[in-house]
Amino acid sequence: MNDTDSKPRPGPKIIPRSGHTISRAGISRSALKVLYRLDKGGYQAFLVGGGVRDLLLGREPKDFDVATNARPEEVRQLFGNSRLIGRRFKLAHVRFGREIVEVVTFRGAADVEHDDRQHADSGRILRDNVFGAIEEDVWRRDFTVNALYYNIADFTIWDFTTGIEDVASRTLRLIGDPETRYREDPVRMLRAIRFAAKLGFEIAQESAEPIERLGALLRDVPPARLFDETLKLFQAGHAVRGLELLLQYNLLQYLFPYTAGSIAQDSSGGVLQLIREGLKNTDRRVTTDQSVTPMFLYAVMLWYPIRDAAKQLEMRDGLRETEAMLIANDTIVSGQQHYTAFPKRFSMPMKDILVMQQRLTNRRGARAQRLLEHKRFRAAYDFLLLRAACGEADQQLADWWTEVQGLAPDEQHKAFDVKRPRRRKPRRPRRRDSPPGEPP
Ligand code: ATP
Ligand code: MG
């Protein structure tokens, strides 16, 4: 069933409207508009991918993807509110306010036999930009449950694989020969884990088997793409399950090698506990529609590696605490960039909150008090609470910072043992400072 297979392929099973649960009420108005206008324009128009899968499962889809036989330029002409994106493989984004409907032209099967240059030695697909028909498009998709097509022309579902059965039995099954498909695009291993975590599906045995063996192929994936995948895995409300699966399949090392190292070296279980608790927080925030940030995710992942490296610098090289922390932070953050990108807008604030963990142990004096006004105080304090909850920081210290935030100014000065700053008499302006003719 894979790309290199030249046997004739079966046509789709077509499930009539009466045989499935997808109704137009579950599809966004914007996606419906796109589907109908393509249809009226004489093109095929299908809802495809996560939208169909999630609707069959009774879940609210994250977004709607449309597949069509219209070429990107034709889609562009049909929709004034669209633009073409992608260099290698063009597709159209149709915008309705904040919602974007992605319209993808069916892809053709790569003509592998006639062009070896389409695959790298590892089997990775390098070029992938031929248009085709739906009968070819389906075999390029990753999992059977992601390859169901809902036809707007008559509300049928087209299933070329075992998608419907696999939705019913909650099975994540790669289309075609698993090893070939993972070699073509190693990110599919992470997608398997992401969908298993998100949907609570079991990965089919034959799709699961090669993952641990082929994990190292992830080293060839650009760090920017792994960063995107990492966020989809850890910031979409199923981070804890995602982590368990990454550990089970031994893949954490390709995303967070320092973290995987700390976990492996830690016999107390404390490292994993902090990460689990941190990810639980994130999942809770996602479920309750609160904002989440990669800064916090990376702080949770990199805290132990950075802390341990800093301790070593203190002991081995006699560095002072803060300096050791800063150097350890920079070393590990720049090492991490070879695996997943970690943009400065997140790594800079993370450094602040990690370094502040030490400064928060100091409760006396004006400097300590000024931490309350630091723009990262809230994040650093939240991180301290997390550490305390895991027994990695002093709970009394965390409680003290909780209390002190609620105190009136006078009480607060006392708590920090700061003498109340004497109220200065307003200084009389010196004559020569004020320009002539203007009041001082
Ligand atoms: P969700 O949007 O809920 O995360 P999705 O299934 O829609 O899940 P997308 O990443 O939006 O996933 O991709 C849309 C569809 O494109 C997928 O359902 C799949 O059919 C196809 N697809 C995406 N990435 C790949 C890939 N790496 N290999 C093969 N097919 C892919
Ligand atoms: Mg999608």
Gap between the Cα atoms of 15 and 404, Å rounded:
64
Q: Please identify, in words, the CATH class of the domain defined by 294-415.
A: mainly alpha
- What are 262-269's contacts with CB under 8 Å, separation 24+? 262/304, 262/305, 262/308, 266/304
Q: How many Å lie between the centroid of ligand 2 and the Cα of residue 307?
A: 38
Q: Indicate whether residue 172 lines ligand 1 (CB < 6 A).
A: no
Q: Which of 101, 146, 193 to mutate to test the pocket of ligand 1 (most atoms within 8 A of CB)?
A: 146
How confident is the model over 227-276, as pLDDT tens digits?
A: 999 999 999 999 999 999 999 999 999 999 999 999 999 999 999 999 99
What is the predicted pLDDT for the residue at 6?
A: 54
Q: How many Å lie between the centroid of ligand 2 and the Cα of residue 56?
A: 14
Q: Hey, is 412 helix, strand or coil? A: helix
Tell me the chain's radius of gyration from C-alpha atoms. Answer: 28
Give me the mean pLDDT over the 104-132 stretch: 67
Looking at the DSSP bridge assignments, the partners of residue 46 are 67, 151
Q: Indicate whether residue 274 lines ligand 1 (CB < 6 A).
A: no
How confident is the model over 23-38, as pLDDT tens digits?
A: 999 999 999 999 999 9
Tally the C-alpha atoms within 13 A of residue 96's C-alpha that lie toward its C-beta: 13
Q: What is the value of pTM for the model shown? A: 0.90
Residue 173 and residue 207 in contact, taking contact as beta carbons nearer than 8 Å: yes
Whether pLDDT at 67 is above 60: yes
How far from chain centre, in Å, is Cα 264?
24
- Of 117-121, 345-349, 407-411, which one has max mean pLDDT? 345-349
Give me the mean pLDDT over the 201-223 stretch: 98
* Domain ranges (residues) in the chain: 3-167, 294-415
Closest-CA residue, ligand 1 atom 26, reads 142
Give me the mean pLDDT over the 358-364 stretch: 94
Gap between the Cα atoms of 365 and 383, Å rounded:
22
For the domain with range 3-167, which CATH number is right: 3.40.640.10, 3.30.460.10, 3.40.109.10, 3.40.50.620? 3.30.460.10
Give me the mean pLDDT over the 148-167 stretch: 98
What are the catalytic residues?
A: 63, 65, 142
